[in-house]
Amino acid sequence: MIDYIKGILADLNPTTAVVEAAGIGYSIAITLPGYSALVGSEEKEVKLFITEIIREDTHELYGFTVTAERQLFELLMTVSGVGAATARMIMSAFSAEELRMLIATGNTKAMAKVKGLGTKTAQRIIVDLKDKALKLDLGGDPTEIPMLDVEANNGVKAEAISALTMLGFAAAASGKAVDKIMKAEPTLSVEAVIRKALTML
Residues 112 and 59 in one domain: no
| pLDDT single digits (tens) 86-142 | 999 898 888 888 888 888 888 888 888 887 788 899 999 999 998 887 777 665 433
Helices of type H across 77-117 = 84-93, 96-105, 108-111
Nearest to 35 by CA among 17, 9, 62: 17
Domain that holds residue 13: 4-64
Q: What is the arithmetic mean of pLDDT over 170-197? A: 85
Instruction: Indicate whether 145 belongs to any domain.
Output: no
| pLDDT confidence of residue 154 | 59
Q: What CATH number is attached to the domain comprising 97?
A: 1.10.150.20
Residue that wins the pLDDT comparison between 64 and 147: 64
Residues 98 and 123 in one domain: yes
Q: What single letter denotes the amino acid at residue 78? A: T
Domain end point (choices 14, 40, 64): 64
Rounded to 5°, angle at Cα 185 from 13 and 64: 30
Instruction: Indicate whether 141 belongs to any domain.
Output: no
Q: How many domains does the chain have?
A: 3
Q: What CATH number is attached to the domain comprising 25?
A: 2.40.50.140
Q: What CATH number is attached to the domain comprising 180?
A: 1.10.8
Q: Within 13 Å, how many C-alpha atoms sit on residue 23's CB side?
A: 0
What is the model's pTM?
A: 0.71
| pLDDT single digits (tens) 25-73 | 999 999 988 998 998 999 999 999 999 999 888 899 999 998 889 999 9
Least confident of 14-23, 103-112, 149-158, 172-181: 149-158
